[in-house]
Structure 1
Amino acid sequence: MEPHVLFSENDDVRQRIADGDEAAFTELFRHYYAQLRPFVQRFATTGADAEEILQETFVRVWLSRDKLPGITNLRSWIFTVASRQCLMALRTQLNDRKKITAFRQEAPVSTGEMPVDSASLAEMTLLVAEAVNRMPPQRQRIYRLSREEGLKPAAIAGELSLSVSTVKNVLVIALKEIRDHLSASGHVVSLLYILQHFF
């Protein structure tokens, strides 16, 4: 049996993820991470770049989780998402190589999730609130509807008369702003950790 069969054919697992089950999503992350990494590394310049692409891929998967029950070949779909992230990364490298080089020198990226004790988590929670309060009103509202009210992108889009893709893009931007604010304050954690605890 192929290792991806559980997620490509098990409707229950996909439905649990679509319903926001973080434990099921973590299973999917661990399952596909190892499969995606060799593919992503073909396009990434460094290990840190590969990690960034992988994290962004799973952020996109999470934000599109409502689609999972209707996807026939989940593995193929996830690889397509990863391919798009690789393409975006390559375009960024070509258009802004100097800026990326400077960023790598000044802000090393963690390749794993650092242990976070309760005191650090409390501080991070305050920093996240600070980052959210600094966001433009619409971005802040979309984040709060997602995080505090648990609405899916489609529901948020309907309430605010926006497209679902716009809502998803805004949530990705919000996630990056939160991560950057945490990093600037000395908390370097993975995107997945931020996604699971603050999204």
Structure 2
Amino acid sequence: MNSEEYIILRKLQNGDSGALDILYLRYASKVRDFALRLLKDQTDAEDITHDIFLRIWDHRRNLEDVCSFKGYLFRMTRNAIFNVMKRRQMQYKYLKATGSRIEEEAKGGFSDAVSTDELLEMIDLAVRNMPEQRRKVFYMSRHENMSYDEIAKTLNISPRTVQYHISNALAELRKVLSSLMFFV
């Protein structure tokens, strides 16, 4: 953590709301963009962003153990995204269990760096949020090591369609990874 960030966090710990404003201006758009890329819902992304900064303010006295504010922010954001995904899954299961008609598809001390496991979790989450056909094609290509022709025959689609899905899947993953790089 650089000295400027250290000073801002110490001011925040002492109740300086201006320090929170600085952190919000500096990091809120990154948190929102990251949540939006994974959740694909503007309202949820904005809610997560506001909730995170509210929790930072509420728990400001516990920030002395934070070695990397970006790492701290990443974990808070990741956990909030997982909570939204769990909530969506529970809502979907409830609607399915009650026989309700679904009108929309269900939506889908801290260390210094983001771990490989955390990165893999976020990539897995991004893959799980892909449209079903794209996710199948990507899985068959990357996990089953099938060629485009083999995938095309198995799914009864053209090799160009397979190429289209792989290209779009990789583009989505690049977007997620580029937003993740902020936290690294």
TM-score by length of 2: 0.46
Bigger Cα Rg? 2
